[in-house]
Structure 1
């Protein structure tokens, strides 16, 4: 249960309300399951909207500097490097009919590079429409050409479920066919091939998450479109989760059945259950939230990173291989079907789907679900679990200084944060947490792996995050190596972008590799310790006082050392505190804030507390003496009240 503490505090005659909030999101010191580092304010440049957006959608390709953004009644073309507006396309509702209250806006829901144009669809005042943006004759701007009736491509309301995918001149989409949100199917809606759709009984109240085309350079006739979704569970028992997560596939060459049977309907549709959880305990994450497909040269090596949530408010990431998914579709029995499997096997890609036999298509019609489940590559447990509520995922492949490739997961939370999670070794390693927005969650997210940045859309802005932000890891080789960030390594210039020959240890962060660091680097650290580290304070006896040092790593343990004695750190958000309720003779002297991470010990902060020497004053007239007493008493009272305020707040937060 989340607790909120309120303290009415008297400070110089005024009452102030102090609220302790969001402490449940603060990482726990010394826990390897916490982000190692907290970072704030790292969005690079950006574009701020004139008005907050309920919904935004991106279209962005790595080989282009152009980012298309759709919002309410507009599409923007931005320079993704500087976020300057290159073009602005007003796309207000085109219908003249009377809209329902609050529904006359055109919320852009689809932006795809389709054939030779930018294809855009929106809600259009509860009457979905699509437009194509064509280059003008001067090639300096675009013409807006209304081209398609948008039902089945764009939802009627932006909150309705939908997805779209452009593949080789064809457009695949899932969107409701009416305002109520019914008849939600995955269809091929436009392009050079025949329009095809699903059979009504194949899915039950689905929520489509993502669709992906997996290329087969050596076998294009067997290429598939994979659809990831969750649907209502047919098991309505109290202990059953109401949702089941699925992967389905259709053949790219599928043109539907013959005129007599299954015309304009997928003949290759099959679906299977995606399993993410702990099979030995029958504990599963059943609510698929987002998908990232990491393509490979050999289609068999393509990996699917799936983000799940659960009924007990936890998140998990499971990793699947396309080869494993295909094995299930090609070898599993058909759930509920007990007869001999016809030839060709139902779901097989054939050059002419209209020629498939009634027996083969009928199995797809009535028994499209596989008996076997699709398990993750880790099988016995998810790759990563967390109590954070993640909403989106992207995965980057990074070449480290050792020339090996490492995968880095980028997970967006519902509170405007990005977690950078390293996939290396047996356990995930949470490199950092970056706070990008304090007011809204991530609406859209695109990874630019070539430029090593993440483009992110919020309700108030679009911005980007530099994934190679290495100077945050400290000024020593030890700290740079302990970060275990494949983007960053130690060089003669400090902790910088990884280059061949730089110092790193991604697998375990062992700092023994830093023995090659130069004497000059060590000398710089010593000078820093001597000049900037120690703070001297004069503190009267009898007053409360506290010491604070910054938390550089949440994977470290922090202690305070004073006169040969150690005391634990009191964590307050991003600081480590030591409280002295009332100063006595024994409290004076030096205090060291020391962090220990693995075998690395660091002096973070040093304080020296000394007793103030009161000045000697000659006897003066009573008025002057009184003024002196009152002035100094007032100053001491303010000082004491301020310290007392800090301590009371800290006491309340730590409870």
Structure 2
């Protein structure tokens, strides 16, 4: 059953426009068991994950504590107590230190928290061998951690420098280079979402840090969304301007609007929620996956090319600039930023916004639109059995549901909806790609999800191939984690790759013994239900009887409530006796899922047999009469 639900969006500009946007249905709904890595002793209001690249450790920051978990052994190694300090009056304000920042900085772990509204940072030297861990108070955390955990913040370390943003500022605050911050007039009530360092190994002096955020929309039109989503750039080598102009202020700051919407219809998803940057060896090929929500509570994923982002910053005109663009161009990376001419710096200070918007790779509409309220996004690159890479998006909701989505040539294919055995909001999420694991943080625990869980796809090659899950393949005896030599068809999803596959062969096979059911003896006039298991929400289902087909009524339900494909016979008549088959069709694969044999009572069967012999005899006499004449 292929379900393409139409989400009707209403957008009011001068008139009301009604626009249909396809929202795709998960092929399979899975109840997934999660592995518990750590159960907290108290409910956590907020958690933050940090996983050092190449390490088996996961650090989890909570309230007054940081946990260190060994992912290889799946157990807690140690924890660091970070209770509030500074002499606050705990009778007046809550004495909580909610951790918001964990970074590997220089020679230690750098941790910051709210510290009872007086942000503070610590250095932690983890235990090595038999040595005990050392926790040292380091410095005030103002500008690194917000005083209230609900205010979004971000942090990033780049070659020994710490970049951080709280509710109003993005700055380079600690490290080898001098501290640099933003100009007060560049942003309006920003909410910072993410930051990413884009490496250029062939030219390190041109490397940039990109900041993703949303800010208050100054458009007073009542139909305007209160938020606008942005991307900004700064150069890694930027050390601020000369003493007389933009001293200790970014000289390379530029910003541009991230457009995610229906092009030509003025319909946009304006509220940036989460970002995942997929880095490539050639920085130009890197892609930015962004998660947006809208004022009508829909979600969208837009994908941007870093090469096109860079083109806007290097070629677009500057909004509000009515004179010639000076040379060097504002925003370019120069080795000594203190020598940039004042004319260039004035444009950066007064007109840092690009006139051109940044549009996604899927030009006319977002890559994916849903009425599901997603909160987190991450993207994994999975190599199939033939060595080809495929992108798989993992989108989390506030209900503990994760959608696994294949990016199929700019088209989303929802492999499955994974319902975790823990229906609670997802606070944190971290992908460990090399292990095929997704770490999920809830209020009461840290859980681990195996992305290569393949058994739910079925017990046949066709079931496994139709799932189109790059993590899984048919091994000959079952659907299992993909290995070289196993059977997959990620691009097409057709079952031709399976041994003895094909529509005719599959259609003529009887259903498996557990689906055959039993014969049912039914008197005339009684009501009778027949049910058929729904194996895939992308298949179509029909009931077939005596050469007649009828649609599966229950198959029109939403997948969240559908369990079986039903067929009701309100009152049994003679025409209903015989064999009824539930048939599913998906791609080029047709099969009988269940079969019912309905029989009349014995006396009825005898009467029907007598009448059948009579009609046969009469037919024979009629034929003889015709031949004689």
**TM-score (normalizing by structure 1):** 0.82
Paired with 1:516 and 1:611, the residues of 2 have a C-alpha distance of 38
Paired with 2:114 and 2:370, the residues of 1 have a C-alpha distance of 35
Choose which of 579, 587, 590 in structure 2 pairs with 1:601: 590
Q: Is the aligned partner of 1:547 residue 2:530? A: yes
Greater mean alpha carbon deviation, residues 223-232 or residues 475-484: 475-484
- Tell me, yes or no, if the aligned pair for 1:32 and 1:555 is still in contact at 8 Å: no
Greater mean alpha carbon deviation, residues 436-445 or residues 393-402: 436-445
Paired with 1:284 and 1:470, the residues of 2 have a C-alpha distance of 37
Paired with 2:81 and 2:150, the residues of 1 have a C-alpha distance of 21
Q: Over residues 270-317 of structure 1, what are the superposed CA-to-partner deviations in whole Å (9 max), with x where a residue is unaligned?
A: 001111112222221111111000001111111101111112222111
Choose which of 99, 105, 118 in structure 2 pairs with 1:114: 105
The change in CA–CA distance for 1:538 and 1:403 in structure 2 (over 3 A counts) is same
Task: Report the counterpart of residue 575 of structure 1 in structure 2.
Answer: 564
Alignment RMSD: 2.6
Q: Is the aligned partner of 1:272 residue 2:256? A: yes
Number of residue pairs matched? 574
Which secondary structure does the structure 2 equivalent of 1:375 belong to?
coil
Greater mean alpha carbon deviation, residues 459-468 or residues 286-295: 459-468
Which secondary structure does the structure 1 equivalent of 2:24 belong to?
coil
Q: Over residues 167-192 of structure 1, what are the superposed CA-to-partner deviations in whole Å (9 max), with x where a residue is unaligned?
A: 1111111114xxxxxxx111111112
Q: In the TM superposition, what are the counterparts of 1:11-26 in structure 2 within 5 Å? A: none
Q: Over residues 593-634 of structure 1, what are the superposed CA-to-partner deviations in whole Å (9 max), with x where a residue is unaligned?
A: 2211123112222344567899xxxxxxxxxxxxxxxxxxxx
Choose which of 368, 373, 378 in structure 2 pairs with 1:394: 378
Q: Over residues 353-406 of structure 1, what are the superposed CA-to-partner deviations in whole Å (9 max), with x where a residue is unaligned?
A: 122222221111111101111111122221111111111111111111232211
The change in CA–CA distance for 1:603 and 1:174 in structure 2 (over 3 A counts) is same
Which secondary structure does the structure 1 equivalent of 2:308 belong to?
helix
Instruction: Quote how far apart the aligned CAs of 1:562 are.
Output: 4.0
The change in CA–CA distance for 1:32 and 1:350 in structure 2 (over 3 A counts) is closer
Which secondary structure does the structure 2 equivalent of 1:364 belong to?
helix
Q: Is the aligned partner of 1:299 residue 2:283? A: yes
Instruction: Quote how far apart the aligned CAs of 1:425 are.
Output: 2.5
Structure 2, unpaired ranges of 5+? 1-6, 8-21, 556-560, 604-629
Paired with 1:186 and 1:135, the residues of 2 have a C-alpha distance of 29
- Tell me, yes or no, if the aligned pair for 1:111 and 1:120 is still in contact at 8 Å: yes
Paired with 1:517 and 1:584, the residues of 2 have a C-alpha distance of 38
The change in CA–CA distance for 1:535 and 1:92 in structure 2 (over 3 A counts) is farther
Instruction: Quote how far apart the aligned CAs of 1:44 are.
Output: 3.0
Greater mean alpha carbon deviation, residues 308-317 or residues 287-296: 308-317
Instruction: Quote how far apart the aligned CAs of 1:82 are.
Output: 4.4
The change in CA–CA distance for 1:496 and 1:115 in structure 2 (over 3 A counts) is same
Paired with 2:310 and 2:294, the residues of 1 have a C-alpha distance of 26
Which secondary structure does the structure 2 equivalent of 1:188 belong to?
strand
- Tell me, yes or no, if the aligned pair for 1:257 and 1:353 is still in contact at 8 Å: yes
- Tell me, yes or no, if the aligned pair for 2:299 and 2:369 is still in contact at 8 Å: yes
Instruction: Quote how far apart the aligned CAs of 1:99 are.
Output: 3.9
Task: Report the counterpart of residue 161 of structure 2 in structure 1.
Answer: 170
- Tell me, yes or no, if the aligned pair for 1:315 and 1:386 is still in contact at 8 Å: yes
Which secondary structure does the structure 1 equivalent of 2:498 belong to?
helix
The change in CA–CA distance for 1:107 and 1:513 in structure 2 (over 3 A counts) is same
Task: Report the counterpart of residue 125 of structure 2 in structure 1.
Answer: 134
Paired with 1:535 and 1:47, the residues of 2 have a C-alpha distance of 48
Task: Report the counterpart of residue 206 of structure 1 in structure 2.
Answer: 190
- Tell me, yes or no, if the aligned pair for 2:34 and 2:421 is still in contact at 8 Å: no
Paired with 2:268 and 2:226, the residues of 1 have a C-alpha distance of 12
Instruction: Quote how far apart the aligned CAs of 1:465 are.
Output: 1.5
Greater mean alpha carbon deviation, residues 486-495 or residues 238-247: 486-495
Paired with 1:94 and 1:539, the residues of 2 have a C-alpha distance of 78
Choose which of 209, 233, 236 in structure 2 pairs with 1:252: 236
Paired with 2:574 and 2:500, the residues of 1 have a C-alpha distance of 46
Greater mean alpha carbon deviation, residues 151-160 or residues 471-480: 471-480
Q: Over residues 497-528 of structure 1, what are the superposed CA-to-partner deviations in whole Å (9 max), with x where a residue is unaligned?
A: 2223332222221222224679xxx99x9797
Which secondary structure does the structure 1 equivalent of 2:358 belong to?
coil
The change in CA–CA distance for 1:601 and 1:137 in structure 2 (over 3 A counts) is closer
Choose which of 52, 56, 59 in structure 2 pairs with 1:65: 56
The change in CA–CA distance for 1:526 and 1:141 in structure 2 (over 3 A counts) is farther
- Tell me, yes or no, if the aligned pair for 2:511 and 2:594 is still in contact at 8 Å: no
Task: Report the counterpart of residue 343 of structure 2 in structure 1.
Answer: 359
Choose which of 80, 84, 94 in structure 2 pairs with 1:93: 84
Q: In the TM superposition, what are the counterparts of 1:158-237 in structure 2 within 5 Å? A: 158-176=149-167, 184-237=168-221
Q: Is the aligned partner of 1:308 residue 2:299? A: no
The change in CA–CA distance for 1:526 and 1:48 in structure 2 (over 3 A counts) is farther
Q: Is the aligned partner of 1:48 residue 2:31? A: no
Which secondary structure does the structure 1 equivalent of 2:284 belong to?
helix
Q: Over residues 207-265 of structure 1, what are the superposed CA-to-partner deviations in whole Å (9 max), with x where a residue is unaligned?
A: 11100000011111110000001111121102221111111010111111222222211
Q: Is the aligned partner of 1:123 residue 2:106? A: no
Q: Is the aligned partner of 1:559 residue 2:550? A: no
Instruction: Quote how far apart the aligned CAs of 1:139 are.
Output: 5.2
Instruction: Quote how far apart the aligned CAs of 1:411 are.
Output: 0.9
Which secondary structure does the structure 2 equivalent of 1:318 belong to?
strand
Choose which of 456, 463, 467 in structure 1 pairs with 2:440: 456
Q: Is the aligned partner of 1:345 residue 2:337? A: no
